[in-house]
């Protein structure tokens, strides 16, 4: 502007305000920095909503078309593990929220404890997911790579599941569509697990930095924004769980 | 051409490029590769997209050469399929989408809102790296034999029938998509949170409004494209999925999801161009843009409508008649905000003091060509004529009028307009006016015959055609040669001007934007101190008073 034109060709007048070391140079104040990065995180989560939105759309259309196949496909999932995993993830959201709170009240020990718990629960979730995926592989329910329609053409051959649900045999063309169910199952849970893996990776980074006290001196932005991400991934699971596990139960 | 000019350059015998600027602040390759400075990242982007533009352009040249004769004379039919697919992919995802936002936008958005940098400098740099990574994947795809799905990855062609490099091409677009998401996200956050004191929403230059609208589309649309590409690649790899009818999938679902992004993508490509034109038209007619608020909101309206028109790409694909009618009407609605812009620019010119510098010539080219492109879009949005014209050369001509005649013209207009700010030097005026004229003539010669070819029934995407179409195709190929010259010229003289151009001074155009009130090239921090906005956008009287004050104080 006016003053800047006048001084623009001269040396840069470095005006140094007093500000904490974590304030980046292009922000006027810490509040502006927090506001900005927080807003950016929410926008990023919005892109994530759209990203998963495409998958959910595909799921809903296929499910409407091939409902019987989706029901019997879902009977192959273990409600026990699914519920356990939901509980694990909800607990991790709680510990994450506590971690953000610990950072806010500047308690380093507690922050590390809750980050650690979140980490353990995150790994636990992935472990349980691994168990479930492994089971799918054993029963030849991995679409494209190792798939058999036996459990759906002749449900009685699959004793454990049959005992519980007494499913009727599907017609061959509908039984073939169960592969579609498992395709979407792996696409959805896989994409979700990928987000979990990224989250756990960032969590390790945060723990290392938290150890040196980076987040307990008033600068909680990063922990708080990561918390938003973690809760978002949790919410995705909250939708996945009924859509994949409980199809015939609600 | 009128001799009148508003260009005011400093006395060349004494003028110097400021010693301290963003280009000279640090030296060495690393200082560029690890920079957080939006102006340096914009420069990196400019170099990269120019590189891809010339690859895409060379492929376009091959297409036109092949179509010089009715037979498949230059290349086999499947090679031709690969050439036009690669042309489309590179031009859409590696040139048009990042063209104005990632280069010009990156350079001027922070300065226009009076900030030191974009809100997230590291994310901005990450965006460039993702672009480069995607670009490398694309080059790998090309080296490995290319892909022949067309730029639309149409299923089940892409998932079932083809044996070309669909997976690597899709990965390249996936990665480049994230670079565009991050640019858009950065712009939105910057425009919301980084405006300088006094910079209210309605004092923002219209360039900001249109980039804001485009950013909304990038942030909301691109992720959908990303997940579609993931599903296509998965379906190709495991041979089961949701798009292939052979497995009970639905190819129409793919079309819905793909065009849900790719129609808004069209506006991602054109909206930032609108912004450039607003700046240029106002500056070279010395008037505030007529109906500022209407122009600002028309950008937002286009962004909103953009999400409700996608199925007009699918009228012949078996969607229901009822949805075709709704989507057709929605498509017509988009013409309204577009027309608001064109009319308001025309009213800005009315009784303005118009001068004809190069950016203005490109802007005039834009207004004419975009209007033709937009109006033919209305033909294609009507369900009846669409069925007749779609998949013919009419549609090829239509989107080239919008994308090349519109976006490329505005990109070149913007590059010439901000070149003095960017480099501190002027480009050669006469030569660049010639280039603008050449581009305009070459463009019309290339693409106008294609409208006629389309209405006569020549289908797109074929290497061979009935001999009666040859005359018009020869015109088109001849025009492409002229167009090629028109694009080569700026590369040559802009490079020349880096060393030999006249020193531009702070504000050669007497423009009002904040970016013109600082030195050229700007400091790394853009302004010696954060400016305070105390006037409306495009307030030329304010500028005049400002200059009188300065003369008085210097005297």
Residues of chain B with pLDDT under 50: 1-2
Taking only the tens place, the pLDDT of each residue in A96-151 is 999 999 999 999 999 999 999 999 999 999 999 999 999 999 999 999 889 999 99
Which chain A residue lies closest to B507 (C-alpha atoms)? A5
Q: Is A203 helix (H, G, I), strand (E, B) or coil?
A: helix
Q: Is B16 helix (H, G, I), strand (E, B) or coil?
A: coil
Full domain range(s) for residue B291: 30-554
Residues of B in contact with A28 (CB under 8 A): 530
Cα R_g (chain B), whole angstroms:
23
Q: Minimal CA–CA distance to A243: which of A31, A55, A44?
A: A55
- Return the C-alpha torsion angle B424, B429, B433, B436, nearest 10: -20
Instruction: Kindly determine whether residue A50 and residue B221, on different chains, have CB atoms separated by under 8 Å.
Output: yes
pLDDT band at A17 (very low <50, low <70, confident <90, very high): low
pLDDT for res A205: 96
- Residue B5 forms part of a structural domain: no
| CB within 8 Å of B225: residues ≥ 6 apart | B173, B177, B258, B261, B262, B265
**Cβ(B188)–Cβ(B212) under 8 Å?**
yes
Instruction: Kindly determine whether residue A143 and residue B240, on different chains, have CB atoms separated by under 8 Å.
Output: yes
Interface test with B, best of A183, A186, A222 (most B CBs within 10 A): A183
**Cβ(B81)–Cβ(B148) under 8 Å?**
yes
pLDDT for res B333: 93
Residues of A in contact with B186 (CB under 8 A): 40
Cα–Cα distance, A199 to A207 (Å, whole number): 12
The ipTM estimated for the assembled molecules is 0.92
CB of B544 less than 8 A from some CB of A: no
| CB within 8 Å of B247: residues ≥ 6 apart | A176, A179, A180, B239, B240, B241
- Residue B14 forms part of a structural domain: no
The CATH number given to whatever domain includes residue B41 is 1.20.210.10
**What average pLDDT does the segment A153-161 reach?**
89
Say which of B188, B230, B247 has its CB closest to residue A43. Answer: B188
Q: Is A77 helix (H, G, I), strand (E, B) or coil?
A: coil
Instruction: Kindly determine whether residue B239 and residue A144, on different chains, have CB atoms separated by under 8 Å.
Output: yes
Q: Does residue A15 carry a pLDDT above 60?
A: no
> Mean pLDDT over all residues of chain A?
90
- Residue B547 forms part of a structural domain: yes
Q: Which tokens belong to B516?
A: 């013109």
Our CA-based measurement puts residue A54 at a distance from the nearest CA of chain B, in whole angstroms, of 6
- Residue B6 forms part of a structural domain: no
Q: Helix-strand-coil percent breakdown of chain A, rounded to 5?
A: 75, 0, 20
Q: Which tokens belong to B110?
A: 């922070």
**∠ CA(B157), CA(B178), CA(B331), 5° rounding?**
65
- Residue B24 forms part of a structural domain: no
pLDDT for res B551: 78
Residues of A in contact with B223 (CB under 8 A): 47-48, 50-51, 53-54
Domains and CATH numbers, chain A: 51-249 (1.20.120.80)
Cα–Cα distance, B102 to A109 (Å, whole number): 43
Q: Does residue A9 carry a pLDDT above 60?
A: no
**Alpha helix positions (H), A139-170:** 150-153, 159-165
Q: Minimal CA–CA distance to B409: which of B384, B376, B444, B383?
A: B444
Cα–Cα distance, B121 to B25 (Å, whole number): 17
- Residue B154 forms part of a structural domain: yes
Cα–Cα distance, B455 to B101 (Å, whole number): 34
Cα–Cα distance, B473 to B453 (Å, whole number): 8
Cα–Cα distance, A80 to A86 (Å, whole number): 10
Q: Does residue A6 carry a pLDDT above 60?
A: no
Cα–Cα distance, A22 to A20 (Å, whole number): 6
Instruction: Kindly determine whether residue B231 and residue A187, on different chains, have CB atoms separated by under 8 Å.
Output: yes
Instruction: Kindly determine whether residue A36 and residue B531, on different chains, have CB atoms separated by under 8 Å.
Output: no
Taking only the tens place, the pLDDT of each residue in A225-242 is 999 999 999 999 999 999
pLDDT band at A217 (very low <50, low <70, confident <90, very high): confident
Give the distance from CA B190 to its chain's centroid: 20
Q: Which tokens belong to A134?
A: 């492994």
Instruction: Kindly determine whether residue B193 and residue A5, on different chains, have CB atoms separated by under 8 Å.
Output: no
Quote the number of domains for chain B.
Answer: 1
**Cβ(B391)–Cβ(B416) under 8 Å?**
no
pLDDT for res B554: 62
Helix (H) or strand (E) holding B22: none
- Residue B3 forms part of a structural domain: no
Peptide bond into B506 cis (omega under 30): no
Which chain B residue lies closest to A16 (C-alpha atoms)? B529
CB of B10 less than 8 A from some CB of A: no
Q: Which tokens belong to B244?
A: 């292939």
pLDDT for res A248: 86
CB of B505 less than 8 A from some CB of A: no
Residues of B in contact with A15 (CB under 8 A): 529
Cα–Cα distance, B197 to B106 (Å, whole number): 21
Taking only the tens place, the pLDDT of each residue in B430-457 is 999 999 999 999 999 999 999 999 999 9
pLDDT band at A14 (very low <50, low <70, confident <90, very high): very low
- Residue B8 forms part of a structural domain: no
Half-sphere exposure of B450 (CA within 13 A, CB side): 29
Strand partners, A104: none
Q: What percent of chain A has pLDDT over 90?
A: 76
- Total CB pairs under 8 A between chain A and B: 158
Taking each helix axis as running N to C, give the angle between helix B470-500 and helix B409-423, from 0 to 180 degrees, rounded to the nearest 10. Answer: 10
Residues of B in contact with A177 (CB under 8 A): 248
CB of B130 less than 8 A from some CB of A: no
Cα–Cα distance, A35 to B243 (Å, whole number): 42
Let me know how long chain B is: 555
Instruction: Kindly determine whether residue B523 and residue A51, on different chains, have CB atoms separated by under 8 Å.
Output: no
Instruction: Kindly determine whether residue A2 and residue B194, on different chains, have CB atoms separated by under 8 Å.
Output: no
């Amino acid at each position: 502007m006016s003053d800047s034109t006048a001084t623009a060709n001269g040396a840069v007048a470095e005006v140094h305000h007093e500000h904490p070391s974590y304030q980046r140079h292009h922000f006027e104040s810490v509040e502006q920095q927090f506001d900005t990065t927080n807003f950016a995180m929410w926008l990023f989560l919005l892109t994530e909503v759209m990203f998963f939105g495409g998958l959910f759309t595909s799921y809903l259309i296929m499910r409407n078309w091939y409902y019987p196949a989706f029901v019997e496909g879902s009977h192959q999932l273990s409600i026990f593990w699914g519920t356990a995993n939901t509980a694990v993830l909800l607990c991790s959201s709680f510990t994450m929220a506590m971690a953000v709170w610990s950072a806010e009240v500047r308690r380093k020990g507690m922050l590390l404890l809750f980050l650690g718990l979140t980490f353990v629960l995150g790994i636990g979730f992935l472990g349980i997911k691994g168990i479930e995926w492994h089971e799918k592989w054993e029963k030849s329910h991995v679409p494209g790579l190792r798939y058999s329609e036996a459990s759906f053409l002749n449900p009685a051959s699959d004793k454990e599941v049959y005992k519980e649900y007494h499913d009727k045999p599907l017609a061959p063309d509908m039984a073939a569509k169960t592969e579609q169910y498992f395709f979407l199952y792996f696409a959805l849970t896989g994409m979700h697990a990928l987000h979990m893996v990224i989250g756990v990776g960032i969590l390790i980074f945060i723990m290392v930095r938290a150890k040196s006290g980076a987040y307990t001196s008033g600068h909680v932005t990063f922990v708080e924004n990561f918390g938003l991400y973690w809760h978002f991934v949790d919410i995705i699971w909250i939708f996945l769980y009924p859509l994949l596990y409980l199809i015939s139960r609600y | 051409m009128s001799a009148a000019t508003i260009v005011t350059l400093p006395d060349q015998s004494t003028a110097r490029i400021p010693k301290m600027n963003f280009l000279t602040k640090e030296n060495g390759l690393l200082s560029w590769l690890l920079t957080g400075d939006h102006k340096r990242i914009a420069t990196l982007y400019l170099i990269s997209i120019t590189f891809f533009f010339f690859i895409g352009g060379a492929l376009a040249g091959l297409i036109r050469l092949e179509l010089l004769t009715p037979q498949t004379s230059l290349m086999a039919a499947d090679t031709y399929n690969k050439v036009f697919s690669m042309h489309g992919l590179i031009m859409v995802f590696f040139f048009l989408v990042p063209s104005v936002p990632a280069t010009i936008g990156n350079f001027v958005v922070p300065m226009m809102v009076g900030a030191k940098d974009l809100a997230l400098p590291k994310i901005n740099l990450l965006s460039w790296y993702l672009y480069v990574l995607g670009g490398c994947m694309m080059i790998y795809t090309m080296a490995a034999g290319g892909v022949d799905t067309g730029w639309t990855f149409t299923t089940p062609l892409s998932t079932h029938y083809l044996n070309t490099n669909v997976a690597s091409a899709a990965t390249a677009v996936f990665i480049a998509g994230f670079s565009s998401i991050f640019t858009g996200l950065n712009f939105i956050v910057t425009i919301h949170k980084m405006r300088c004191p006094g910079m209210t929403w309605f004092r923002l230059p219209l360039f900001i409004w249109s980039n804001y609208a485009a950013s909304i589309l990038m942030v909301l649309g691109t992720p959908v494209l990303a997940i579609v590409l993931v599903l296509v690649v998965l379906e190709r790899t495991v041979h089961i999925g949701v798009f292939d009818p052979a497995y009970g999938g639905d190819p129409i679902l793919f079309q819905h999801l793909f065009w849900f992004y790719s129609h808004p993508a069209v506006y991602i490509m054109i909206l930032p161009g609108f912004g450039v034109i607003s700046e240029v038209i106002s500056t070279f007619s010395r008037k505030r843009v007529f109906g500022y608020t209407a122009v600002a909101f028309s950008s937002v309206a286009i962004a909103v409508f953009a999400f409700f028109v996608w199925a007009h790409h699918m009228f012949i694909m078996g969607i229901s008649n009822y949805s075709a009618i709704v989507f057709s009407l929605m498509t017509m609605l988009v013409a309204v905000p577009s027309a608001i812009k064109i009319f308001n620019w025309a009213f800005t010119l009315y009784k303005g003091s118009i001068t004809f510098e190069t950016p203005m010539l490109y802007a005039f080219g834009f207004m004419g060509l975009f209007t033709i492109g937009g109006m033919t879009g209305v033909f294609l949005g009507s369900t009846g004529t669409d069925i007749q014209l779609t998949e013919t050369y009419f549609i090829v001509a239509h989107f080239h009028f919008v994308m090349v005649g519109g976006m490329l013209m505005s990109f070149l207009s913007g590059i010439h307009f901000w070149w003095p700010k960017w480099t501190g030097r002027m480009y050669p005026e006469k030569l660049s006016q010639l280039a603008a004229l050449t581009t305009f003539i070459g463009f019309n010669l290339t693409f106008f015959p294609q409208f006629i070819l389309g209405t006569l029934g020549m289908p797109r995407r074929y290497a061979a055609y009935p001999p009666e179409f040859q005359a018009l195709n020869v015109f088109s190929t001849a025009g492409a040669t002229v167009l090629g010259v028109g694009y080569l010229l700026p590369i040559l003289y802009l490079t020349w001007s880096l060393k030999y151009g006249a020193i531009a001074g702070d504000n050669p155009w007497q423009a009002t934007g904040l970016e013109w009130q600082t030195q050229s090239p700007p400091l790394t921090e853009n302004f010696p101190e954060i400016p305070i906005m105390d006037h409306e956008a495009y307030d030329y009287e304010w500028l005049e008073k400002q200059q009188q004050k300065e003369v008085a104080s210097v005297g």
